[in-house]
Every structure is written in C-alpha cells, then in structure tokens.
Amino acid sequence: MDLNGALRLAAVRIVLSGRELIAPLDLVVASGEQVTVMGPSGCGKSTLLAFVSGTLDPVFNASGRVLIGETDVTALPPERRRIGIQFQDDLLFPHLSVGENLAFALMSSVRGKEERRALVQQALIEAELDGFVDRDPVTLSGGQRARVALMRTLLSEPKVLLLDEPFNKLDAQLRNEFRRFVFEHAAARGLPTLLVTHDAADAAAAGGRVIRLGNG
C-alpha cells in the first residue's frame, strides 16, 4: 500500500479507569481512502478521533502512535498536526461572520488581504454560497452551515480528515447531499478520511472499509 500521505495508527490503545476502551489498533488509511469506524454508543469511537486529533481528555490513558505519511505527529499539539475534524454540530464561531469563519482557517500560510478574500470567495462558490460572506452564521440553514463548516476545515489545508458523526443532525434529504459533498471534496484533495458513525447508510455511502469497535 502506498504510504505517501497516508494516516497510520500504530498500536493505539486507550484505557479509561482500568477499562480498556480500545484494544491495540493498527490501521492504515491511504490517501483519498475513506474508512468508517462503527460501533455502539460508548464504545470509544469519538475517543479514538480525539486521540488522533490530539485533543484527548487527560482522564484517558492512551498509548500508540499516529503517523501521517512518514511524520510521527503523536507528540505534536493539535494545532500543528494538520488534522481537520468535523463534528455533528457545525460549530461555526458565533461571533464571526461566515466569511470571517472561513478566513480564520487561513492564518498560517496565507498573507495579504486580497489573497485571503479570494480564497474565501472561492470556497463560498464551491459551497454554492456565493454572497454569504458577511452573513451571521445563525441566519443560515442547517445544511448551509454544515457546508460552510466543511469548507472552513478544508481551507486549513489538512492532511487528514476526521468526521465525528457529522451527518447526524441533518434530515434524510440533506444527509444524502451533504454526504456526497464531503466525500467528493475529500477524495478530490486526496485526504485520508476517518468517519465515525452508527448509521450503516453512511458507511455504505463512504464505500470504504468498515472497522467495528466494541462488541459490534
């Protein structure tokens, strides 16, 4: 398997108060591949994502390594890992406009107001939200906010995409559309994607391998 840019989990084990939540897990997600993690509630799916993104609560005891391509990111703080994460709530910052939310993701590499504005504009067009740049996020519909949230993550040019049940809050119709939106963009950018869900339809739509945690 081509490991170039792949997400690799090596012997990841997570323990909570003596109870093993996640048995030693080895996983490789290749560039552009989408892997689904499924399991019942409380089996540790979200905890696994937290570990990968570097925001695991200290009450957990975790061991193992996370690698992106050849780089070991296990010791890096979350802001340096270049691992994007989407939650089931859009979590657009309420104090910023839609455009400012998108621009927030641009900090590190992009300089110059013009270039930033252009990138934000491009992202909005891709999300079919042209003209929304100064809008208050709370005035957008659920589906629109979800699209903005994904574009925000993609603007930070992540190397890996983590999805923590991101389609949960959307109704059936929106769900299909948004799912397609996410997977298309992830595939187009060649991002290894790790999707956590309890909905089998999501796994089917992703079309990749399915890992089961817990008893499932």
Partner 1 sequence: MTAQHRSDWLRIAPAFTAGVFLLPIGAGLIGTVLPAFGYLPAIGGNELSLAPWRVLVAHPGFATSVMLTLGTGVLTSLLAVILSVGFCAYAYGRPWARRIGAWLAPLLSTPHSALAIGFAFLILPSGWIVRAISPWLTGWTLPPDVSTVGHHTGLALVFGLLLKEVPYLILMIVSALNQVPAREHLTIARALGYSRAEAWVKAILPQIYPQIRLPIYAVIAFSLSVVDVGLILGPSNPPTLSVLAVRWFFDADIQMYFPAAAAACLQLLLVIATIVLWFSLERLLVIVGRRWIAAGGRDGLLSRLTLPTAVVTFTLFVVSLLAIVGMALWSVAAQWRYPDALPQAWTWANWMRRADSLPALSWTTLLIGMLATAIAVVLVLACLENEGRGERAGTGALWILYLPLLFPQIAFLFGAQVLLVRLELDGTLLAVVWAHLVFVLPYLFLSLADPWRAFDPRYARTAASLGASRFRVLFRVKLPILLRPLLIACAVAFAVSVGQYLATLFAGNGRVATLTTEAVTLAGGADRRVIGAYALVQSLFPFLVYLLAAALPALLYANRRGLTRWT
Cβ atoms < 10 Å from Cβ of 61: 14
Distance of CA 13 to the CA centre of its chain: 21
User: Quick check: 141 binds partner 1 (CB under 8 A)?
Assistant: no
- Which helix or strand (DSSP H or E) is residue 124 part of? helix 113-126
Nearer to partner 1, 18 or 94 (CB): 94
Cα–Cα distance for residue pair 148/129, rounded to 1 Å: 8
Among 40, 93, 131, 212, binds partner 1 (CB under 8 A): 93
Q: Which of residues 34-53 bind partner 1 (CB under 8 A)?
A: 50-51, 53
User: Quick check: 78 binds partner 1 (CB under 8 A)?
Assistant: yes
**CB-based contact 114:135 (threshold 8 Å):** no
User: Quick check: 143 binds partner 1 (CB under 8 A)?
Assistant: no
Among 84, 99, 166, 192, binds partner 1 (CB under 8 A): 84
Among 72, 79, 130, 177, binds partner 1 (CB under 8 A): 79
Q: What letters, b where the CB count within 10 A reaches 16 and e where it falls short, cover 160-174? A: bbbbbbbbeebeeeb
**CB-based contact 214:25 (threshold 8 Å):** no
DSSP state of 79: G
| Token representation of residue 1 | 């398997």
User: Quick check: 69 binds partner 1 (CB under 8 A)?
Assistant: no
**CB-based contact 199:37 (threshold 8 Å):** no
Nearer to partner 1, 13 or 209 (CB): 13
Q: Which of residues 103-132 bind partner 1 (CB under 8 A)?
A: 104-105, 107-108
**CB-based contact 20:62 (threshold 8 Å):** no
Please calculate the CA angle 186-149-37 and round it to the nearest 5 degrees. 50
Nearest approach, Cβ of residue 200 and partner 1 (Å): 25
DSSP state of 182: H
Stretch that binds partner 1, among 16-24, 101-109, 121-129, 189-197 (CB under 8 A): 101-109
Nearest approach, Cβ of residue 62 and partner 1 (Å): 5
Binding mask 161-190 for partner 1 (x = CB under 8 A): -x----------------------------
**Binding residues vs partner 1 (CB under 8 A):** 50-51, 53-59, 62-63, 74-75, 77-85, 87, 89, 91-95, 104-105, 107-108, 136-139, 152-153, 156, 158, 162
